[in-house]
């Protein structure tokens, strides 16, 4: 047998055998109830992420680190999300109100509207399955030294955040299975490098939006 063909056949068989069935995927991608939103409260660090558009991939490439803190709000069905991003060595901070409706979370900030669900994950971890739509984000992109000519950008992303700076191999594999079930058949677009470090709370330039 041709060596190259044999390697290709083995890889194809491996992928077929490792693909999860719809029945196996269902518990991995069924959104969690947010009847008690406090399950999201506290600080978590962005550890691994996938996205399906070139622009968002480029954003992840210039992201050194990111963490967020979710806390209670005085308004029913709303929580507060603060975020510190280190991008290209520059710290950027944001504060946004988050609306919860059933198991769906919605945010709108800097002309980007995101709708996401929380998926099952490791203890203290958050997995967000996100669909975003962005328009007129030239000002936001300029802060990252990026540009785009697209009038509207629609993106599907999957992010895993955790309380530590590393993950157990088993937790990473669980996340990769979720990604596969949701159509991401590649390696992650972002994996946090602990050598990069995080911005301190309040250190970042507050985004002017």
Domains of the chain and any CATH numbers: 21-206 (2.40.128.20)
In whole angstroms, give the CA distance from residue 17 to residue 13.
Answer: 6
pLDDT of residue 10: 38
pLDDT of residue 81: 96
* Residue 69 neighbours by CB under 8 Å, 6+ apart: 42, 43, 44, 81, 82, 83, 201
pLDDT of residue 19: 81
pLDDT of residue 1: 44
**For residue 89, is it left (φ>0), alpha (ψ between -120 and 50) or beta?**
left
Secondary structure class of 111 (helix, strand, coil)? coil
Query: H helices of the chain, where?
Result: 3-18, 22-29, 54-61, 138-142, 169-181
Whether the Cβ atoms of residue 39 and residue 32 lie closer than 8 Å to each other: yes
Residues of the chain short of pLDDT 70, as ranges, are 1-18, 136-151, 207-209
- Residue 95's alpha-carbon distances to 10, 23, 63, in angstroms, are 49, 38, 18
pLDDT of residue 112: 86
Please give the distance of CA 1 from its chain centroid, rounded to a whole number: 43
Whether the Cβ atoms of residue 188 and residue 49 lie closer than 8 Å to each other: yes
């Amino acid at each position: 047998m041709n060596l190259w063909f044999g390697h290709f056949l083995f890889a194809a068989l491996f992928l077929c055998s490792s693909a999860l069935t719809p029945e196996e995927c269902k518990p991995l991608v069924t959104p969690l109830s947010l009847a008690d939103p406090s399950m999201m409260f506290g600080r978590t660090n962005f550890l691994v992420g996938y996205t399906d558009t070139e622009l968002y991939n480029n954003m992840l490439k210039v992201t050194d680190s990111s963490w967020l803190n979710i806390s209670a709000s005085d308004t029913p069905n709303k929580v507060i999300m603060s975020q510190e991003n280190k991008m290209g060595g520059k710290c950027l901070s944001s504060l946004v109100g988050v609306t919860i409706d059933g198991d769906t979370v919605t945010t709108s900030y800097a002309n980007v509207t995101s709708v996401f669900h929380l998926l099952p994950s490791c203890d203290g971890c958050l997995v967000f399955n996100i669909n975003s739509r962005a328009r007129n984000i030239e000002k936001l992109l300029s802060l990252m030294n990026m540009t785009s000519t697209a009038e509207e950008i629609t993106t599907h992303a999957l992010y895993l955040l955790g309380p530590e700076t590393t993950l157990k191999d088993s937790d990473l594999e669980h996340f990769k299975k979720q990604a596969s079930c949701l159509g991401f058949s590649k390696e992650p677009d972002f994996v946090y490098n602990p050598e990069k470090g995080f911005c301190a709370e309040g250190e970042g330039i507050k985004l002017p939006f």
